[in-house]
Structure 1
Amino acid sequence: MYTDTHTHTNFSSDGRMAPEEAVVAAIEKNLSGIAFTDHFDYDYPGNNNEFRYSFEEYFDKIVPLKEKYAGKFNVFTAVEVGFQPHVYNQVNEIINKYEFDYIIGSTHAINHVDPYSGNFFNGRSKEETYLEYIKEVYKNVMMYENYDTMGHFDYHIRYATMFEDRTFYYSDYSDYMDEIFKHLIAKNIALEVNTSTYQKVPIDKKNLIRYKELGGEMVTIGSDAHCTTDIARIFDQTLPIIKECGFDYVVHFEKRKPVFEKIIL
């Protein structure tokens, strides 16, 4: 059994499930655990779209769930932090203040534009936008330190619907990807396989293969679910791909320490 390491409850402004509803759904899907990685995006683009919430209220809700299901199902306190270079100090202050089991570091906004809005791609080519995005990921990965996994390195492809082939190919950005992978490995930071991204766009396996070739061992798998029906989405299709790329285990984090789960097909 596996842990869904990337989910969003109604503590996220775009989340549509209560925490215990998510726990019940995850148990029904034969998972062994779930991490509630609600959004914390400081200075997120837009006047009314701030992805922030009360961590005190979050812990008041999630910690009792951890205790209620202890010994039967694992509930992990976690957060998905939106990395932007100009909010480094504010983000670090929050990360260092609370005792999470697990922290995802993700790049959502590039020059204060989220690809989700579609404006990021307006009038520009795939080559230009994809390169700009991975440059921003590279910049954030090199700047930030206190996190456990790099979230959805190809997040932008979900919204690049204007391009016939949306796949993010390793060979097109190998210089950046190699440096990112080497840095993650050196810092003991995991690489996320985010199944929301690959629900409609195929993963370029070479990204995972190259990460493995460079010495990478830690891969997390997360659905990025915002509702109960999406918990563990296409895990059954994605775990064989991870194994095919050379990984016998996926990991989740407890008290910021990696725990390896054997992939059994």
Structure 2
Amino acid sequence: MDYHHHSNHSYDSKADMKEICKSAIEKGVREICFTEHYSVNPRVPTYGHMEFDSYFKDIEQCRSLFGSELTIKAGIELCEPHERKAEFKAALDSLPLDFIMGSVHNIQSTKLSAVIKAHGERANELYFQELYKMVSEADIDVIAHLDLIKRYTHRDLNEIYDFNKYKESIAKILSKAIERGIGIEINTSGLRTSMRKTMPGKEILSLYKELGGKILTIGSDSHKADDTGSHIAEAYELAKQCGFTEIYTFTRRQPSPIPL
């Protein structure tokens, strides 16, 4: 199952949904969830691209074409969903979404790369503070790429945060997620870069399990048909190493466990 994928309904992808489905079937993926970027903040890049009528039309067309071979779920990735909550609610409440991810790509409408340029290593602290705000307030099902900040610090500062330095902050985020019934994902996109790490990695996944976390999804975060299902098998193995015996699917935002 690939529970994080973007198509040309996201601002940063040109991938055709039908081609993605074909690629998924060819690679043995049995269930896919499209999670297009969406924001109601006009000051960030993900604002204004998503057209829901067109998105759901394409979802239904793909279900008609490929439904006998592939389960296709309708999802969305919300950028900073703890901000402008009333606007998000008004936009999304009537939609037949199966799955909602929440992510922090911006802090106070400033892209993470710019936050790192302005604050250096302290950007890690600012990011985890913002993530805690999100998991405390937002209406989401799963935290997308929980430690995304390391993708940018690896690229821009040639370093990745020290887990032990931020363990208390991360545990606070995970505990709040568990309290609110929010899961996390293993995002494999970092394995397609020079970073060569999942988001999050084994330390955070093990801590989540230790704290009582159960809801776990796995996604490639692909923006191209060719990357559909990328490194999913490795993520399954990582989940097992961290003690997980199930991963989750979602239907109309209700989680269901699937044995690993």
1:29 match: 27
* Residue 117 of structure 2: aligned partner: 122
Aligned pairs for 1:110-189 (under 5 A) are: 110-115=107-112, 118-126=113-121, 128-144=122-138, 146-160=139-153, 161-166=155-160, 168-189=161-182
Shift of 1:30: 0.3
Give the secondary structure class of the aligned counterpart of 2:13: coil
State the number of aligned residues: 255
1:77 aligns with 2:70: no
The residue type paired with residue 125 of structure 1 is G
**Quick one: structure 1 residues 49 and 209, their matched pair in 2 at CA, closer, same or farther if it must change by over 3 Å?**
closer
The one-letter amino acid paired with 2:78 is: V
Q: What is the alpha-carbon root mean square deviation over aligned residues?
A: 1.9
> TM-score, normalising length from structure 2?
0.91
Q: CA deviation at 1:89?
A: 1.5
Would the aligned equivalents of 1:44 and 1:109 in 2 still touch at CA under 8 Å?
no
Change (3 A) 1:104 1:49: closer
CA 1:143 to 1:71, structure 2 compared with 1: closer, same or farther past 3 Å? same
Which structure 2 residue ranges, 5 or more long, are not aligned? none
Partner Cα separation in structure 1 for residue 196 and residue 84 of structure 2: 31
Q: How many angstroms does 1:45 deviate by?
A: 3.7
8 A contact 2:39–2:46 mirrored in 1: no
Which runs of at least 4 in structure 1 moved beyond 4 Å after TM superposition? Answer: none
Q: Is the 8 A contact 1:44 1:112 kept in 2?
A: no
228 and 43 in structure 1: CA distance in 2 versus 1, 3 angstrom threshold: same
Corresponding residue number in structure 2 for 1:20: 18
Q: Work out whether residues 38 and 46 of structure 2, in 8 Å CA contact, stay in contact via their aligned partners in 1.
A: no
Q: Quick one: which amino acid aligns to residue 43 of structure 1?
A: N
Give the drift of 1:180. 1.6
Aligned residue for 1:243?
A: 240
Distance 1:37 1:79 in 2: 4
Aligned-partner residue type, residue 260 of structure 1? P
Aligned match of 1:222: 219
Shift of 1:186: 2.0
- SS of the counterpart of 1:132? helix
Report Cα offsets for 1:141-190 as digits up to 9, x if no partner: 1111x221111111122122133332x44322222222221222122221
Amino acid corresponding to residue 29 of structure 2 in structure 1: L
Structure 2 residue matching 1:173: 3-state secondary structure: helix
Helix, strand or coil for the counterpart of 1:233?
coil
Q: Percent identity?
A: 26
Quick one: which amino acid aligns to residue 75 of structure 2? A
TM-score norm. by structure 1 comes to 0.89
- The reply on whether 1:58 has 2:58 as its aligned counterpart is no
Instruction: Name the counterpart of 2:187.
Output: 194
Alpha-carbon distance in 2 for matches of 1:35, 1:184: 21
Q: Please list every run of 5 or more consecutive structure 1 residues that lacks an aligned counterpart in the other structure.
A: none
